[in-house]
Amino acid sequence: MALIPLSLARRLARPLQPLCALCAGGWLREADVDCWLRLLHPALRLNRVCARVDARQWVADDMLALRLRCNGNARGWRAGQHVQLYLAQDGVRHGRSYSLTAVAADGRVELAIKRQPGGRLSSLLLERVEVGQVLELGEAFGELRWPADGRPVLLLAAGSGITPLLGLLREALARGYAAPVTLLHQVRRRAQRAFVDELQTLAARHPNLQLRWALSGEPALPGEFAGRLSDERLAELPGEHLLVCGPRGFVEQAQAGWQAAGRGASLQWESFSPPAPLDGTGTVRLGFARSRQQAAGNTGQSLLEQAEANGLRPAHGCRQGICASCTCTLLAGEVRDLRSGALFAEPGQPIRLCISAPHGDVEIDL
């Protein structure tokens, strides 16, 4: 039960700042302060972001849009970024990243959640989260931005990759972006096309927006593309800026085709898959200093996966090197960035566990 409305709870963020300083100085415990604040409103916290579920709407067969209103601690968020959403199950707190498809100045945001086969958290969110419930969120992260120069834009999305691009597209059109924009969404089945009604309404309202769908697991109808993205298809799609989002294979295909066609350096991408393990794995010794644990490891998998395989639970978010939640200090040894192949060996250097593989024996502050 709330003693004050959420709109008033949101406005308390600034007046509560002195309490943050007292907590930082060790005079108060943040958990105790939060207990008192929750009595005023279940979403009120000193520092953490909590949000009330205002609405839920299925936007595809396997995708739910959750409309939330955040407390006053969600600052500087942008549509197209991602945010960690936490839920406790059987006493264990689980977190996953979801894209912000809309962000408003009054704290209203929208997240789109796709059902993942075998995904415990997505199933819980899709089936059990109710209107009025309060959820905890992390900080927003992600660097995708709408191009600033007013030239034609090509948006390529596969699966849930539509969600950050939709957030950017909605805002750009609302601001009056007038250059041609083409959006291609690739899905396996027609029923997985997300936000179709809204996209068609946007296209009717903004003649500069062209929509295309590609089906990789069902016969295509007239006007739809059949099969996965290819260089030939990419060549048919206009645009001078490319924003691409989806699983790693899709993103790599788009990047390679765009660059091979010499279509310029204006390319932004995000992949929802963790980086691929390296070939030719050797055996190494892993030292987890704070846990006082030693283990045999390999040079192919990320340190995040290897720490988890050894029973540790490092903090993490996106698992793709974007959110920095898994950052940890390298104490000794050398690691390789799984995305670029770059080597890092400076003791005391922060590394992201999800994209770093050992390159020999390593010790990390975990």
Residue 318 touching ligand FES (CB under 6 A): yes
> Pattern of binders to ligand FES over 278-317, x per CB under 6 A?
--------------------------------------xx
Q: Which of 80, 251, 325, 366: binder of ligand FES (CB under 6 A)?
A: 325
Residue 335 touching ligand FES (CB under 6 A): no
CB atoms within 10 A of CB 223: 8
Size of the site for ligand FES (CB under 6 A): 12
Q: Which of 161, 164, 321, 358: binder of ligand FES (CB under 6 A)?
A: 321
- CB 216 to ligand FES: min, Å: 28
Q: Which of 9, 137, 158, 322: binder of ligand FES (CB under 6 A)?
A: 322
- CB-count burial class (<10 Å; 0-12, 13-18, 19+) for 358: buried
Q: Which of 354, 362, 364, 366: binder of ligand FES (CB under 6 A)?
A: 354
Q: Which of 307, 323, 338, 351: binder of ligand FES (CB under 6 A)?
A: 323
Residue 352 touching ligand FES (CB under 6 A): yes
Bridge-partner residues for 293, per DSSP?
A: 288
Contact 336, 280 (CB under 8 A): no
Residue 319 touching ligand FES (CB under 6 A): yes
- CB 357 to ligand FES: min, Å: 13
- CB 62 to ligand FES: min, Å: 24
For binding to ligand FES (CB under 6 A), which residues are involved?
316-319, 321-326, 352, 354
